[in-house]
Structure 1
């Protein structure tokens, strides 16, 4: 693991603090910047309202006698920043968090600097009342602290020049006041991902990030408080930002071209445009429209370069898909369909070489570009975008002659990437919020595909910090408005248990056990005398099942539900193992007793002997895949009945069906019951999404009507191709033991690789030859299970007969 390097003597307290943040990217952080107020101050633009919507530019020129080998700085802002050095876009941030854990990013600017004159410039924006739901805020501000003698030259102070860019105003999405001062647009369904932008190019600042720009008339920065680290010794930071170092890397920024023009009117389109840049001239007094198709869903910063067209209006609208009524239909088809969604508006100033790039990224497959010119033509020189996302390095590899499986992996990985930025997200277009239920699956996709643990740990950190005084986590975090889904607090315990087995930082997990204990204590308050959870407050969402109101399982007349009781049972089982492995043995034993009592109560109360199923309610008139899947996963049913229950779980029509999300648990249950060889036959939902042109997995089972086209809670095949089919899973905390239990079904030859904290795992199964070759990282042992036999595996290459 990467660790902090101290540059002066530290106290035991700071050693603990440094241990708490164990994965900063190798930069040195002197202890003084973790325990004392910074020399740098938060700065803003004088005579502006720091609580209001606004976009601000900050510049600092300085001279270096020689090009430095290193130039380490810490940077943060509220709400957001884009950092440029000598005209190059270097970074964006800060990583999402809350005021008491406000991230500062750690960057080395040396590669962008030169001997002589240099410029650091930053665009900061505050979307105030219109900000995304994930954005927690104090007020507008920027802070940069150099952590070495030479980099302290860019500390934010009064020497920084600044100005407000008054050309911006928000374009509100789904806003209640259609007659307000700002333009609006519409997105179908719940939308909280922030506004679009309207820019009057006549007052827009351009070229400010480049050397030679004249900022003589700009103001000197207004000074605020010094930077206050969270763990200052002997100093209270008041109500402003408490700074912590982010261990999330800078997001990837990769230019990408659009694939094609799907529709056009009002203007001829040059051949190859916009896949290749070219010149597109919209005559005076003309209305033109281009429907641009990226050909796949993406998260990116759109950029438009144009000239002329004084007072021409340019509208850019972004959509995952087009609509025909309330249906999306085939995503590749556009005829007769309508665009709705987030929108940006530009009013041209008539000058040459105008440039636009969005403040925040947009999510889109399609962009509708509308231009309405007045008395002069407008020339579009280029339109392209810059992809952004968490900079994962994909390490998994599947070798098989099966195009469908490869396409599913490709779609699932794109879905996972688009739902991973500075945090995991449920969806990139509509919410950009890190929900625990989604994130548990996303974390496993990450670990199986990349082995990168940073975003997983960051998610667990944020969930733990989100806990309220009663012990529950919030359902999503960070978030401006608290939302409580108590069942997601139980999945948090499950996610922590996942990380215990697939991560390698057991001390990190141990630090979180206090939170899991508080979650379980909360639920004890709502258990009736029979042990059942009754009248659980707040939104006890489980799944978007077709017949469940707002995703909540039905309650019996006494206010109880087997689905809730079973989820609590699983949480107690996870918690018991967490305590047994790295916590308190007494608590482990207590949790085991509570789990045993829950089992007895659930069987007595919900088991329908005639149907051979667990009912959802004590009345035994409603049944679901959810309850019966969790019954298998928890070991509730006698082993001799499990196969029969699993058959009903697969085939019984009276069961409420799980959505694409909860199929994750259904498939785990079926595999545990001995049906893993059928895994590929269970993927018809995913096939239905592919059949109508989705390039990511949708939020709902029905891809025609799903709100979001991109929800990574549906990316479970990217786990199960390796865990179920190739059979690779953890058999001990820290992934110290690997269990190989393949379910090849009709596949005769398949091989694959996946990351492990100590290296790579590889398997190669060849049933025609009757042989398996398995390779384990150094220092790791394992077990191979096949045809009811067990073979011990050692580090390095192992060959096993499959005959």
Structure 2
């Protein structure tokens, strides 16, 4: 695989040494616990539960012999980190909402010993400072043993708790929308060091207060009262975590020994000294910083995290360059207590390439023993392959995958640094990428369900979810429907899609009610975002809210066509017939009112004053443009002259329009924006062209998907990926190798040009899969196993 080409044996050995040994999640779940838990939610007895606070919970218990397994189920509000006998186990819970409050099922048996043991958890509530993605009811922690043996550690008043006075929130003030939670000010002198270790003193700990038993969803059969947290099982795996090192010290205000970032030597900073050190991770990452220090009582250490540095005018420029630039970002402040080998770890992870340490010592020297971080993210495995012998395409592949990984955690994220919110517009693209590259659809299914969970009486899904701050972008409800259609094609899971059809029909009905007498949409409420276009107000195309919008009308048609397929499959024939007619009426209205024959384009409104790639892309994708005019229209869209341009995000739909008009061979010629980002030193792909807020934005990683589905040409040929179409489009490439994971095995292609217009090579399919190979106007049948291609 391209990303593996550059990894040496030494690097692999080093990474293996840094890998953390953690508890494994388990599917074991006592059926008795589906209706009632014996364990209670517990909290600190002196708090209301809605204020900022960090709480340390623990319980000491005995086991007669070391168990082979010891299954527990764990959750908290807002978050927890779990320890057994002083060893870090995992963190959670996976994000949800009050009606879908996740819990983790863990086997902690390997961490237990015969005799005395201690299980402990740090639980925090960021209250009004919490991330927008974080729902909350009240501070609490719950742990339920799976059987009678494990229930000796069920949470109740025998647990002890301490409110830590070591933390206070540091609100983040950036000139951008930033909603991922506060920084942390940490006072080492107020912290109960080693509180989670066996034999640690209980000074200051008090008996926990019970709030009431845990309530699983299936246990709510009487009276209909909604408990504070309705417990449901986590449906995704635990996050990947491994230790990692900084690549370099990029600058320092004084000469220093740089060995501390490698853990080989300590850095001693003299008393009454001010020191600034800028570290470079080498590439963007999501990680928990881990700073180990000694002595330094009275000192202050400020850690500032940034994706990139900026010049005096706030411009980022080349991300590799640090000269004449400064760091601006979120931060933590640490006050050492003077003890030895203290390790500070942030409660929540940070996104960074650059980290700056601003240190000021007082009367005692400060020793920095080590500084590293623990990477975290969804455990996607890169199974797909794309090889062309073109280094730039290899780089685009690698950077796209890193972008995907950093935008994937307990949910998909639009961006890790600023929002960490799962928006439907971004998520559709992420789902396609992650399915094609990893074959893992658990996070995809989780996203579909999350958006469905957000559905309410308005008749729309929320634009982003989980989110305690409701937001409605009606066009994103349309995108959610297309996500369901994509899922239908990629996986055989009719139960999931069928169960969401009532919500699909409600979204379509919301739009139908807003069609005017001319069968166009225009006067609509909420944020009708389509794309970030400089000439548009907040991403809203012309005609919305006042007259008529060809753009939104055609997006509705595009979605209706996919929804009609779903209706026909899942038992809604009358609705399918109705909405097929609605789509055709809108198409007729658009062709009558918005087609500009002189310009050969569809206008954004019937007035004909504004034009965009977006409107014409939807005209192509929906088949509103006739076959006779589509080729010329696509050429005009690609040229983009005198029309609002598509951003990195909407380029996904531009490339889909290439597929619709049989112009896929032009795809590789349209990668200039991604090549420009590489030249600027980005290690992930940005939200938009400079000036950009985010250097890592999920919707910009789409090249990975098109490399596999368009260049290699691997696509499902019907529902459930039960058959495959391989229709490669090499453009100017002499050859390509690719592989895509399928539920039944790997689909592999190895092809090269034959003469001026032919192709030859092999297509390897899983034994049970069949399909079709298409090259131009010629087709070949594909069988399971090896297929020789020569056209």
Q: Name the TM-score, length of structure 1 as normaliser.
A: 0.93
Shift, 1:121, TM fit: 0.9
Question: Hey, what's the Cα distance between the residues in 2 that align with 1:641 and 1:55?
Answer: 64
Question: Hey, what's the Cα distance between the residues in 2 that align with 1:561 and 1:791?
Answer: 43
Within the alignment, does 1:781 sit opposite 2:770 as a pair? yes
CA contact (8 A) 1:317 1:342 kept: yes
After superposing the two structures, state which structure 1 stretch, 141-150 or 438-447, moved more.
Answer: 141-150
CA contact (8 A) 2:55 2:162 kept: yes
CA contact (8 A) 1:772 1:799 kept: yes
**Of the candidates 264, 288, 301, which is equivalent to residue 301 of structure 1?**
288
* Matched residue, 1:259: 247
1:21-62 deviations in whole A, cap 9, x for unaligned? xxx976122332222x31000001121231110000111222
Give the secondary structure class of the aligned counterpart of 2:733.
coil
Matches within 5 A, 1:623-772: 623-700=611-688, 702=689, 704-768=690-754, 770-772=759-761
* Matched residue, 2:416: 428
* Matched residue, 2:502: 514
CA contact (8 A) 1:260 1:275 kept: no
Question: Hey, what's the Cα distance between the residues in 1 that align with 2:302 and 2:203?
Answer: 34
Give the secondary structure class of the aligned counterpart of 1:723.
helix
**Of the candidates 311, 318, 326, which is equivalent to residue 338 of structure 1?**
326
* Matched residue, 2:148: 149
| Alpha-carbon RMSD | 1.5
Within the alignment, does 1:281 sit opposite 2:298 as a pair? no
CA contact (8 A) 2:58 2:160 kept: yes
* Matched residue, 1:313: 300
Give the secondary structure class of the aligned counterpart of 2:635.
helix
1:678-720 deviations in whole A, cap 9, x for unaligned? 11110111111111100000001x2x31000110100000100
Q: Name the TM-score, length of structure 2 as normaliser.
A: 0.95
Question: Hey, what's the Cα distance between the residues in 2 that align with 1:140 and 1:168?
Answer: 16
Question: Hey, what's the Cα distance between the residues in 2 that align with 1:91 and 1:558?
Answer: 52
Question: Hey, what's the Cα distance between the residues in 1 that align with 2:188 and 2:671?
Answer: 50
CA contact (8 A) 1:440 1:492 kept: yes
**Of the candidates 201, 205, 211, which is equivalent to residue 218 of structure 1?**
205
Question: Hey, what's the Cα distance between the residues in 2 that align with 1:80 and 1:557?
Answer: 41
CA contact (8 A) 1:581 1:733 kept: no
Within the alignment, does 1:28 sit opposite 2:16 as a pair? no
CA contact (8 A) 1:166 1:204 kept: yes
Question: Hey, what's the Cα distance between the residues in 1 that align with 2:448 and 2:25?
Answer: 19
* Matched residue, 2:19: none
* Matched residue, 1:140: 139
CA contact (8 A) 2:258 2:267 kept: no
Give the secondary structure class of the aligned counterpart of 1:681.
helix
Shift, 1:326, TM fit: 2.4
* Matched residue, 1:483: 471
* Matched residue, 2:17: none
Shift, 1:504, TM fit: 2.3
Matches within 5 A, 1:382-461: 382-461=370-449
Flag the 1:217–1:558 CA change in 2: closer, same or farther, 3 A. Answer: closer
**Of the candidates 539, 546, 550, which is equivalent to residue 538 of structure 2?**
550
Flag the 1:397–1:128 CA change in 2: closer, same or farther, 3 A. Answer: same
Shift, 1:602, TM fit: 1.2
* Matched residue, 2:597: 609
Within the alignment, does 1:39 sit opposite 2:28 as a pair? no
Shift, 1:307, TM fit: 1.1
Give the secondary structure class of the aligned counterpart of 2:238.
coil
Question: Hey, what's the Cα distance between the residues in 1 that align with 2:405 and 2:497?
Answer: 25
Within the alignment, does 1:106 sit opposite 2:105 as a pair? yes
* Matched residue, 2:61: 62
Shift, 1:153, TM fit: 1.9
1:489-519 deviations in whole A, cap 9, x for unaligned? 0000011110010122121111111110111
Question: Hey, what's the Cα distance between the residues in 1 that align with 2:545 and 2:288?
Answer: 52
Question: Hey, what's the Cα distance between the residues in 2 that align with 1:234 and 1:417?
Answer: 40
Question: Hey, what's the Cα distance between the residues in 2 that align with 1:61 and 1:167?
Answer: 24
Within the alignment, does 1:597 sit opposite 2:585 as a pair? yes
Question: Hey, what's the Cα distance between the residues in 2 that align with 1:25 and 1:211?
Answer: 24
Shift, 1:571, TM fit: 1.2
Flag the 1:46–1:763 CA change in 2: closer, same or farther, 3 A. Answer: same
**Of the candidates 779, 786, 789, which is equivalent to residue 797 of structure 1?**
786
Question: Hey, what's the Cα distance between the residues in 2 that align with 1:194 and 1:102?
Answer: 20
Question: Hey, what's the Cα distance between the residues in 1 that align with 2:295 and 2:245?
Answer: 23
Shift, 1:631, TM fit: 0.9
Within the alignment, does 1:195 sit opposite 2:194 as a pair? no
Give the secondary structure class of the aligned counterpart of 1:301.
strand
* Matched residue, 1:181: none
1:714-759 deviations in whole A, cap 9, x for unaligned? 0000100000100001111111111111101111221111111222
Shift, 1:597, TM fit: 1.3
CA contact (8 A) 2:215 2:227 kept: no
After superposing the two structures, state which structure 1 stretch, 338-347 or 145-154, moved more.
Answer: 145-154
Question: Hey, what's the Cα distance between the residues in 2 that align with 1:122 and 1:38?
Answer: 19
Name structure 2 gaps, 5 residues minimum. Answer: 1-23
1:466-497 deviations in whole A, cap 9, x for unaligned? 01202101110111111110000000001111
Shift, 1:217, TM fit: 4.8
1:514-565 deviations in whole A, cap 9, x for unaligned? 1101111111221111111121101101101121111111117952111100
* Matched residue, 1:18: none
CA contact (8 A) 1:188 1:707 kept: no
Name structure 1 gaps, 5 residues minimum. Answer: 1-23, 175-186
Flag the 1:784–1:52 CA change in 2: closer, same or farther, 3 A. Answer: same
Question: Hey, what's the Cα distance between the residues in 2 that align with 1:25 and 1:72?
Answer: 9
CA contact (8 A) 2:260 2:369 kept: no
Question: Hey, what's the Cα distance between the residues in 1 that align with 2:746 and 2:344?
Answer: 44
Flag the 1:126–1:271 CA change in 2: closer, same or farther, 3 A. Answer: closer
Question: Hey, what's the Cα distance between the residues in 1 that align with 2:502 and 2:534?
Answer: 36
1:210-259 deviations in whole A, cap 9, x for unaligned? 21211265211110110011222533453400111011111111000000
Give the secondary structure class of the aligned counterpart of 1:551.
coil
Query: Post-superposition, which runs of at least 4 consecutive aligned residues in structure 1 deviate over 4 A?
Result: none
Give the secondary structure class of the aligned counterpart of 1:550.
coil
Give the secondary structure class of the aligned counterpart of 1:193.
coil
Question: Hey, what's the Cα distance between the residues in 2 that align with 1:597 and 1:777?
Answer: 43
Give the secondary structure class of the aligned counterpart of 1:255.
strand
* Corresponding residue pairs, total: 763
CA contact (8 A) 1:322 1:339 kept: yes
Question: Hey, what's the Cα distance between the residues in 2 that align with 1:196 and 1:220?
Answer: 30
**Of the candidates 453, 468, 481, which is equivalent to residue 456 of structure 2?**
468
CA contact (8 A) 1:313 1:348 kept: yes
* Matched residue, 2:92: 93
* Matched residue, 1:82: 81
Question: Hey, what's the Cα distance between the residues in 2 that align with 1:509 and 1:450?
Answer: 21
Question: Hey, what's the Cα distance between the residues in 2 that align with 1:230 and 1:71?
Answer: 24
* Matched residue, 2:14: none
